[in-house]
Amino acid sequence: MDLQKNIASGKALAKTRLSQHRRPSYAAVMVHALTLPRLLCRALVAVVFLTLAATTARAEFAVCNQSFDVVNVAIGQDVAGDFQTEGWWTIGPNQCANVIKDELTSRYIYIYAQDVFGQPIMPGTTQMCISPRKFTIRGITECWARGHVAAGFIEVDTQKTQRWSLFLAATP
């Protein structure tokens, strides 16, 4: 008899628990269904905004290496009426490096490129100062006297554009 009472009370308890888990109303389901697309739309807007923000900070002077070797690049440009050289950017085969991130203010940019052994790849005629390690050097005169090395940079005429890409190609 006690067993039958326990079974009967267990069924009553199960019915009580099932009645507490009601199905959500149609209105509640529709509100949830409307908020999901709204959340997805907001997420999409955020992704688009972040993508546009990232693309506005693009490089204004890029050097692309289309050779089969790794190259090290230094640049020279006029900064506040005086020449300044900077280096090094290491660029692998079929890769680009953003060497000037601001809009170009000088019409002429000077480039020096060397292989991993320090041999010039494209010797130029404009002598400027470089250093074996990462550097920023103001002025292009008396390189040796100031503890630097003189190197021949090539002149790139950007034609007064705000952005420019230079492609280094393999020589036959």
Place of tokens 């289309």: 66
- Extract the residue ranges of the chain whose pLDDT is less than 50: 13-14, 16, 18-19, 30-34, 36, 39-57, 59
Q: What is the pLDDT of residues 132-170, one digit of tens each?
A: 999 999 999 999 999 999 999 999 998 888 888 899 987
Backbone angles phi and psi of 137, in degrees to 5: -125, 125
Backbone angles phi and psi of 98, in degrees to 5: -85, 100
